[in-house]
Structure formats: C-alpha cells, structure tokens
Structure 1
C-alpha cells in the first residue's frame, strides 16, 4: 500500500511537471492559425495535423536569423564559460588557494541573485562600455550566468581526481601545461564536457539577458518566442518550443552518458 501511494505521488508530480511540455507537441502540429485543440486532434484525424508551423519556423528569415544568433552566442558562450569555469574549478580545488570560500561565493553568486537584477546591472555597465546591442555583450552576459554551472560540474569531477598523478608528472620533468593537457584534462574530460553542455543549454534558454542586451540584429530564439507570445499566439512558437525541447533532451541524454562513462572509468 505504501509503495503504491509512493508511485502514485511520484507519477502525479511527474505528470504535473511534464504536462505543459507534452501538450505543446500536438498543438505544434495544429492546422489552425491560433493555439486551439480541435476535436479532430482528439480523434487523431489526419486532417487535423500539419507540418506548416515547422515549415514556417525553418522558412522564416526572422527565425533563421534567431537560430544563427542562438548558435553563435551559445557556441562562444560555451567556449568562454568552459575555459574560465574549468580554470576556476581547478584553482578552487587546490588546498592552498587563499580566500577559497569567498571566491566560490562570488563565482556562484549569479545563481543566487535574481537574473533580472544581474541583467539590469549588466545593462547599465555595458551601456557605458558600448557593449549593448552586440554579440560580444550578449556572450559576456551569458557567460556570467553559465560559468557557475561549469564550476560546479568540473568541481564534482575534481573531487575524485588523484593529485598524486600531477606530482608524478611534474617530477618527470613535464611542464605544468603538459601536465594539464596530458594528465589532468583527460581524467576530468567528462566533467568538462558536461559543464560545456550545461553552459550551452543555459545560453540557449536565456531570455532575460537578451531582453536587456540584445538589439534587433541579435535576437535569439527565446527572445523571438517571448516577443511572439506578447504580440501574437502563433503555433510557430510551439514548433520552436518542441524543437528546443528535443535539443534539451538530447543534451540531457549526453550528460547522462558522460556521467555513466565517467563512473565506469573511475571504477576501472
């Protein structure tokens, strides 16, 4: 009885969390011009389903530009955030690092402070530096919120790292750079890759920073979706949402594979 109640509660919570996402899938194939769930869809009538909104998503110049902007910003953010986050995690993992707790708190503060507050501060700062309405400013803003995730992920990988291997490498006349690329990085590669995926996902999902920093030419997919919800409820937005959901699922499966591979490698 207790087990059945437990399964019922877990199933209800799962359904409550997933229902808003799952309902987007049939609505994205709607033939109507508005967000409606027609009787034909309930009856699974083939005339009630269409790919017109996916064709609109990939065929619209506005959406294509948003896809390019999202990919460019996401890739650059991933590169910068992964590099900075990995270096920071390695530095914080050392026992002789001064003010370790204070530095960790500062690095993780973007996860604690409301994003709207961070975005407003970044906007006023970047407006003085001329970085608003630019890809560079958007990448820096996304990097600020992505670095903490990389630090946490890489730090988890470093928790199982044997630093005696580093000492052995240095004792064999290897330089610190050679030791990093030949010893440290290969062993923590799954954690670094997971952090990179989280950084890309954060950039791909971020809309608040884009609202403050991006101009007309730097609009990303979430920003176009947010603007579309305010101006018109086109099913194209749901098609974009389904595509982003599929991309997110693929990234989560990749992270889970890397986690399992890392655990298997560590046990070996």
Structure 2
C-alpha cells in the first residue's frame, strides 16, 4: 500500500508542482492551497468523508480505496517537496533542450527529472512514510476487512497485549531511520 501510494503521490504531486512552477497564473495561490488542504483538514474528517464516498462507489475494503485514501494524505508532502526543488531549478536548461530539438516529453524525462531526482526521491520517501504510518484512513476505509501494519498494531493493542507489538514497533523505527539516512546520503551525492 505504501509503495503504491508513494508512486501515485509523487507522480501527481510532481506533475502539479511542475505545472504550477511553469505557469504565471494569478490562481497559483489557490492551487497551492488546494493541494495543502489535506494538511489543514483533520484526518478524521477526511477519513469519514472518504468512507462515505467510497461506500457509495464500492471502494470500501478494497486495496484501491486504501491507496486513494493514503494518496490524499501523502499528496501535500510530495507536492511541497517537489515545489521547493523546482523553485531553484534553472528553466533555461529546458529552453536549451528545446532549441536542440527535444520535445516536451524528452525534455522532461532527459533534462528535468535527472536534475531534480533528489527532490523526487525525498518526495517519494515522505509519501511512503506518511502512508506507512497512517491509521485513521485504514480504520475507516478498510471496512474491518483489509489491514495495514498500523491498523494491525492498533488491533493488537486494543484486543490483546503481547510482545509482538513491541518488536514490530522497533522494526518500524529501524526501517524509518534507515530510509531517512538513505535519503540524506542520496541528497549529499546529488
């Protein structure tokens, strides 16, 4: 779930950040605020709203519903990260690629993406960790059938007390720490 969420959030957030950075519209602030809305609105309200929507279209207790719900919460982190990277991007490099005959897709894939890959990796990791740690959406959207690691930990904590919960907590802590250390090492090499 977390990997699929991270891919979706990075892709959507990256394309939205690129479009916002390239546009000169006066609606840029509104678009930026719209993408940040899931950070402002309490998660319980988002979870209840998604449950109501997904119940009507049949996505409760599905993997797709969980990925969509987690993507909604992870999207602001990816969007802000990539927007910050694109603030310092030299757009003349894209113009140079266009002058040399590259179309927009080739320019994006061969010039822009390699130059901002550190930001894309950071956005991916933020989205992954956000999804990996999300409990509220999992409780509502899973319908009690599908489970994620945080939901399973919650259920174990409420229903039974055993040492498995402590062991899983340590493993999760180690995984998150390793991911952050890898992101820092990758950032220094780029």
Checking the alignment, whether the CA contact within 8 Å between 1:133 and 1:215 is kept in structure 2 is yes
Q: Could you tell me which residue of structure 1 aligns to residue 4 of structure 2?
A: 76
Give the RMSD, CA atoms, in angstroms.
1.2
1:242 is matched with which residue? 170
Partners of 1:84 and 1:233 lie apart in 2 by 40
| Alignment-derived partner of residue 104 in structure 1 | 32
How many Å separate the matches in 2 of 1:92 and 1:220?
33
Shift of 1:258: 2.7
Deviation at 1:78, TM superposition (A): 1.2
Cα displacement (A) at 1:136? 0.4
Give 2:133's aligned residue.
205
User: What are the ranges of 5 or more consecutive residues in structure 2 without an aligned counterpart?
Assistant: none
Aligned counterparts, 1:178-257, within 5 A: 178-257=106-185
**Alignment match, 2:49:** 121
Once the two structures are TM-superposed, the CA of residue 242 in structure 1 deviates from its matched residue by 0.5
Match of 2:14 in 1: 86
Check conservation: 1:82, 1:195, Cα contact below 8 A.
yes
How far, CA to CA, are the matches of 1:215 and 1:238 in structure 2? 26
SS of aligned partner of 1:218:
coil
Give the whole-Å Cα distance in 2 for the aligned partners of 1:201 and 1:248.
Answer: 7
TM-score (norm 1): 0.69
Which structure has the higher relative contact order (CA within 8 Å, separation 6+)?
Answer: 2
SS of 2:116's partner is helix
Residue 75 of structure 2 is aligned to residue 147 of structure 1: yes
| Displacement after TM superposition at 1:74 (Å) | 1.0
Aligned to 1:32: none
CA distance in 2, matches of 1:198, 1:220: 18
Contact 1:77 1:143 in 2 (8 A): yes
Which deviates more from structure 2 when the two are superposed, residues 124-133 or residues 213-222?
213-222
Structure whose alpha-carbon radius of gyration is higher: 1
* Alpha-carbon separation, structure 2, partners of 1:208 and 1:224: 12
What is the number of residues matched between the two proteins? 190
Taking the aligned partners of 1:211 and 1:135, their CA distance within structure 2 comes to 13
